[in-house]
Amino acid sequence: MASSRTATERVLGERELIVLMALLMSLQAFGIDAMLPALGVISTELSAGGNDRQLVIGAYFLGAGVGAFFPGAFADRFGRRPVLALGLVSYIVLSLACALATDFWVLVALRVIQGITCAGLSVVPAAIVRDRVGGDRMAKMMSLIMMIFLLVPILAPAVGQGIMMVAGWRAIFGAMAVMALGVGFWVWLRLPETLAAENVQEIDPATILRNMGRALSERTAIGYVIGSALVFGSLFGFLNSSQQLIGETFGAGNYFALIFGGAVVGMVAANFTNSRIVERFGARRVSHTALLAFIVISTAQLWSASQAPQSLPEFIILMSLSMAMLGFIGANFSSIAMQPFFHIAGAASSGQTALRMSTGAILGSTIGYLFDGTAVPLASAMLSCGLLALAAILFSERGKLFSRPNAPGPND
């Protein structure tokens, strides 16, 4: 890392910060979505049976969920930059190791380890943003970050397919390593340390547990963490089973990248719209409305999936609308959940990300393994998760939706 003097002289504007945080988080997304078109080939080449191919995705999610418990505490003690550096190095090394795997279960194990050691790439950006801003301003910034971040799920499957046509699935892992190297160089050159000296926390198990316990027990926050885990767990279920759904159920495997990317476009548009309206209407009003809409759309998806055979256009339209609602939910739920924890932003981000990712990974893997050749299991899970998320939000809000508390400043 650069010297303290160099770090303090860095001036990182808001736009550059947004792009850099989005790219850091995008490494995780690329490591998942670029692999989707390759799952069938991997299962054949490495002799994986049935739905086991989904573990290439699910193992990474689960590792990231478990690993998210740790980087926040270290980021609160040693700073944001060292934790990011460790995550980037691990991402590069383990991507190259995955490229060399010749056994399916070795590949799955490497993906778990990669998810664990690279979890800081998901945890630390939210803490960095919380270091800078709070309230609905944070929700706006997180929406812009998510908007850029979501360009990766749109492009990654097509990139993955293109790489496979030229060099095979192993080269996708090589591309992951190259991307991480480029982003790491940008971090090294431009990202200042954002942890204030007065907010440094000791590496003490009791302190860490106390801070995480606070982040996961605060009533105003925990409902949003659980609600986000539930709705995004249903999205993870779509990610796990998307290759089989599109390729086998609807027989459109050749158009997988186009269809998958098209479904994600709604999330990009939603995050852009959210960034324009959230400071005016408030994160709660926008996200509560989106959650109710998600429940309605999921009900329509379940009805449509139950009408055999469901048409591909119906599936795409309804799935795109559901994912658009997640665009209004994700950044807002995350921002609301982080508001009480400015002084322990790293630990709070760790605890909350760990709960979201672990729950989402388990739900996603379960939904994926329930794949029966139709979209019914996915649609049923989306509706159930939406209803449970609503119950969690009502708990945090003491039964009242659409409120708008006074927006806190960055230090509140």
Q: What is the pLDDT of residue 11?
A: 67
Q: What is the pLDDT of residue 409?
A: 46
pLDDT over 70 at 147, yes or no: yes
Q: What is the pLDDT of residue 32?
A: 86
Give the model's confidence band at 2: pLDDT under 50 very low, under 70 low, under 90 confident, else very high: very low
Residues of 221-253 as b/e, b for ≥16 C-beta within 10 angstroms? Answer: bbbbbbbbbbbbbbbbbbbbbbbbbbbebbeee
- Across the range 184-195, mean pLDDT stands at 91
Q: Percent of the chain at pLDDT above 90?
A: 32
- Cα–Cα distance between 376 and 389 in angstroms, integer? 20
Give the predicted TM-score (pTM) of the model. Answer: 0.71
- Across the range 330-334, mean pLDDT stands at 86
Question: Which tens digits make up the pLDDT trace of 148-159?
Answer: 777 777 788 889
Locate tokens 């496979």: which residue?
164
Q: Percent of the chain at pLDDT above 70?
A: 94
- Across the range 249-258, mean pLDDT stands at 82
Q: What is the pLDDT of residue 239?
A: 79
Question: Which tens digits make up the pLDDT trace of 33-67?
Answer: 888 888 888 988 998 877 788 888 888 988 888 88
Question: Which tens digits make up the pLDDT trace of 356-398?
Answer: 888 888 888 888 888 888 889 999 999 999 999 999 999 999 8
Give the model's confidence band at 133: pLDDT under 50 very low, under 70 low, under 90 confident, else very high: confident
- Across the range 332-346, mean pLDDT stands at 81
Rounded mean pLDDT of the chain? 85
Q: What is the pLDDT of residue 96?
A: 96
Asked if residue 219 lies in contact with residue 396, where contact means CB atoms within 8 angstroms, the answer is yes
Q: What is the pLDDT of residue 67?
A: 87
Q: Which of these ranges, 21-30, 285-294, 352-361, has the smallest mean pLDDT?
A: 352-361
- Across the range 347-356, mean pLDDT stands at 80
- Across the range 252-273, mean pLDDT stands at 81
Residues of 12-24 as b/e, b for ≥16 C-beta within 10 angstroms? Answer: eeeeebbbbbbbb
- Any residues with CB less than 8 A from the CB of 317 and at least 6 apart, and which? none
Structurally, what CATH architecture does the domain formed by 10-196+205-396 represent? Up-down Bundle (1.20)
Q: What is the pLDDT of residue 230?
A: 94
pLDDT over 60 at 196, yes or no: yes
Give the model's confidence band at 4: pLDDT under 50 very low, under 70 low, under 90 confident, else very high: very low
Asked if residue 115 lies in contact with residue 61, where contact means CB atoms within 8 angstroms, the answer is yes
Give the model's confidence band at 182: pLDDT under 50 very low, under 70 low, under 90 confident, else very high: very high
In this structure, which amino acid lies at residue 342? F
- Across the range 218-230, mean pLDDT stands at 91
- Across the range 166-178, mean pLDDT stands at 94
Q: What is the pLDDT of residue 272?
A: 84
pLDDT over 60 at 236, yes or no: yes
pLDDT over 80 at 85, yes or no: yes
pLDDT over 60 at 407, yes or no: no
- Cα–Cα distance between 119 and 88 in angstroms, integer? 10
Q: What is the pLDDT of residue 405?
A: 67
- Cα–Cα distance between 320 and 324 in angstroms, integer? 6
Q: What is the pLDDT of residue 223?
A: 93
